[in-house]
Structure 1
Amino acid sequence: MPETLEKLQARLAEIETQIEAEWDKRRAEMRYHLERRKIVFDQGIKDAHRQMRVRWSTFLRRTRPMVVLTAPVIYSVVIPLALLDLFVTLYQWICFPIYGIAKVRRGDYIVIDRQNLAYLNAIQKFNCVYCGYGNGVIAYAREVAGRTEKFWCPIKHAHRVKGTHRYYGEFPEFGDAKAYREQSDRLREELRNPPE
């Protein structure tokens, strides 16, 4: 069975490489590329995008009143998100060096770039910044938590778990004490240089 798992993980790595190549093709189709993390559009694309933008006043007129009324509830979640961001960052800065776990690069998870799209109005850009931050913080926290679980308790649950982190598949099976004893040190060692 471990051989099958290794083959599947190798296939997954191959598929991830293919996905990255496909993203590069899509970027070329949309006529932009990245230079040192900066988005660069081909000539004329930003002007074409600006012509597609819906004015914010028109956008608000088309929005249902209940959507506008729920906005304060939606935006209030930024407070717990910011606290989560702060505490997860402090946690890994303090604890990960002690455990010998490589730190998670926050900027790999919290990506805020959609405000560069000229076809979005100011309200849409603000919403995109908010969503990019919120989903990024959650992904960042999940990665930190996943590395912590791999270090301290790399054992699969007896029950099926939805939405597991990327390390979960490596964990020994629930009830397999021998595998847990044999694999724990290796799993911890892998955290010094985790896959990117």
Structure 2
Amino acid sequence: MIHAHRSLQDLAGISRQLKLAREHAEARALAQAQARAAKERERNLFVLSVGKVEQLRARNAVSFQVPPPAPLPLQLVLDEQNVLREAMSDEFDVSTLLDVDDQLSFRRPGIGLEVTRKLRGGQWSIQRQLDLHGLRSDEAREALGQFIRLSHRTGIRCVRIVHGKGLGSPGRMPVLKSKVQRWLVQKKEVLAFVQARPAEGGAGALVVLLQPGKRQLF
């Protein structure tokens, strides 16, 4: 009987030990699970705070590289300016080319009187104007040459050149007026010119008809 009683006590002790071991194991597993959950929350703290994020697509990227500016054709500009200066001489005798009338109009050989008559009558619409007031002679010559060249290249047919009446010149003589006439006669783009009508400048301006030109973009 004594032997049987000890066996029962031993079994009861073993049972208690197994129960304690099981409880300890469950406690460790719970602690480990809570630790893993805490670490996961720390890793996802940004997402939990601001919400779900998405990676930007490549096509939304902005490039801050600025393309270098195109080189300026400085030599071409200088060459054209030299050509303009050489093509229009102040010594050119224009008197034999002007029509002998009260306005001293001009028409290139082969251009009929009807053309200058229409210019005087305002039948050509003035598309562009150049005002030479306040410019020195060399400045006016260069400005006029560039203006005629660019107007012709962009398809402009009729322009007005304002040279003034010379009221502010020494002796109140229209010096620039005669020079503008000389320069225009030497420009191959010019077909004809007449003195402007009173409402368009009168004796202080010329209305100029240009050769037809092909329109070009710059």
Measured against the shorter chain, the TM-score band is under 0.3
Give 1 or 2: higher helix fraction. Answer: 1
Give 1 or 2: higher strand fraction. Answer: 2
Which is higher, the Rg of structure 1 or of structure 2?
Answer: 2
Tell me the TM-score normalized by structure 2.
0.25
Tell me the TM-score normalized by structure 1.
0.27
